[in-house]
């Protein structure tokens, strides 16, 4: 058998509101790590967990302390910390990080009830995704890397309409009402977590079409914190410079409204950051190689790996724009971080046993 050392598991936090692309991001991430993650075999069919060879993704909704009825009775939303058990979340993430399996509860999204727990073994990479991965300071301190998906209200609205109206038969008014009802708690408990994120993917309406309100063409920013150990931000052309780039022309086919990249240093909350921005969308995904070849520090293992990943998952939402591109890049950066941490442990075995 394999002897596990304490602290083998690296922990990644992914925060976002529900319906904001977390599952899509997870599929891109686990694909970069080399294998699709699937629900645990033979367990509760309503489990929210995904497992691959390297990675286990747990959904933080499983730490709801109040079920759907409980929330109704108490008059709190799922976003409210009072509906969530942060003590248990901390204990279990800590145990997994230290190499110990846990019996994690399951929040059943179909019934709205808490189901009997499932056994989670410590993986190489543990991803905790949901509404509050960076809310509790103790849990936050366990994260080796954190990401926040920041979807602007206009875009969130467009995505919700697409899904809830088309697929679930909700009315425009009821979608508006449900977003409005969540907003105060979202602003109080979810949104502030972005200040702690090592990387933020911000999704905004395009600036290429005047007064656009369709939400189809997107302007996406990848905000990367400076000075994070094992994470060196991606850059365009010249690290630290401020760049604006319209790649359309001889090498890249662009139809209206075109594509525009921007790159440069900035500050975000109290942190120094590098920001890479893409507005617009690709007409031909294979031509992404032209853009990829102009980016540096992308942590690919071979020329064209980003383009290959994007082509492989061309059917995922956001594959023709900055959301898919930046999710893929963050996946590569996390793989790199994992490999660096693993290598540093292998070269310092004495300290690992002392700890």
Interface residue list for ligand ADP (CB under 6 A): 16, 18-24, 159, 162-163, 317-318, 323
Partner whose binding site includes residue 200, from ligand G6P, ligand ADP, none (CB under 5 to 8 Å by kind):
none
Nearer to ligand ADP, 218 or 254 (CB): 218
Query: What number of CA atoms fall less than 13 Å from residue 328's CA on the CB side?
Result: 25
CB of 23 to ligand ADP, least distance (A): 3
Nearer to ligand G6P, 71 or 221 (CB): 71
- Residue 27 engages ligand G6P in binding (rule: CB under 6 A): no
Rounded to a whole number, what is the distance in angstroms from the first to the last CA of the chain? 22
Nearer to ligand G6P, 71 or 335 (CB): 71
Partner whose binding site includes residue 112, from ligand G6P, ligand ADP, none (CB under 5 to 8 Å by kind):
ligand G6P
What angle in degrees, to the nearest 10, is found between the helix axes of 172-185 and 153-160? 140
Binding pattern for the stretch 131-160 against ligand G6P, x by CB under 6 A and - elsewhere: x-----------------------------
Partner whose binding site includes residue 20, from ligand G6P, ligand ADP, none (CB under 5 to 8 Å by kind):
ligand ADP
CA–CA distance from 111 to each of 67, 106, 114, 115, 174 (Å)?
Answer: 9, 11, 8, 9, 21
Partner whose binding site includes residue 216, from ligand G6P, ligand ADP, none (CB under 5 to 8 Å by kind):
none
Contacts within 8 Å (CB) and 24+ apart, 65-72:
67/107, 67/112, 67/113, 67/114, 68/111, 68/112, 68/113, 69/112
Q: Is residue 44 a contact partner of residue 337, using CB atoms and an 8 Å limit?
A: no
Residues 312, 55, 226, 200, CA torsion sign = positive
Binding site for ligand G6P (CB under 6 A): 18, 61, 68, 71, 78, 109, 112, 131
């Amino acid at each position: 058998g394999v002897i596990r050392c304490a602290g083998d598991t690296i922990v990644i936090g992914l925060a976002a509101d529900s319906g904001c692309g977390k599952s899509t991001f997870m599929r891109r991430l686990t694909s970069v790590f080399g294998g699709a993650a699937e629900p645990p075999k033979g367990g509760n069919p309503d489990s929210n967990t995904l497992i691959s060879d390297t990675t286990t993704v747990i959904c933080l909704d499983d730490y709801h302390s109040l079920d759907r009825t409980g929330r109704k009775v108490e008059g709190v939303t799922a976003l409210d910390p009072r509906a969530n058990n942060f003590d248990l979340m901390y204990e279990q993430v800590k145990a997994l990080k230290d190499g110990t399996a846990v019996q994690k509860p399951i929040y059943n999204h179909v019934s709205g009830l808490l189901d009997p727990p499932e056994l989670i073994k410590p993986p190489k990479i543990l991803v905790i995704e949901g509404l509050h991965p960076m809310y509790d300071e103790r849990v936050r301190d366990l994260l080796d890397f954190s990401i926040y998906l920041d979807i602007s209200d206009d875009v969130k609205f467009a995505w919700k309409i697409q899904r809830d109206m088309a697929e679930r038969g909700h009315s425009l008014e009821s979608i508006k009402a449900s977003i409005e009802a969540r907003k105060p708690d979202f602003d109080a408990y979810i949104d502030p977590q972005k200040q702690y994120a090592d990387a933020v993917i911000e999704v905004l309406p395009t600036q290429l079409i005047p007064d656009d309100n369709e939400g189809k063409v997107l302007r996406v920013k990848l905000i990367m914190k400076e000075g994070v150990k094992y994470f060196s931000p991606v850059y365009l052309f010249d690290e630290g410079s401020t760049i604006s780039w319209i790649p359309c022309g001889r090498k890249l086919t662009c139809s209206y409204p075109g594509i525009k990249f921007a790159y440069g240093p900035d500050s975000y909350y109290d942190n120094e950051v590098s920001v890479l921005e893409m507005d617009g969308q690709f007409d031909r995904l294979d031509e992404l190689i032209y853009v990829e070849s102009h980016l540096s520090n992308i942590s690919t293992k071979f020329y064209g790996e980003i383009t290959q990943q994007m082509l492989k998952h061309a059917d995922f939402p956001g594959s023709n724009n900055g959301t898919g591109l930046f999710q893929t890049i963050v996946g590569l950066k996390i793989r790199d971080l994992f490999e660096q941490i693993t290598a540093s442990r292998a070269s310092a075995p004495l300290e690992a046993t002392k700890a």
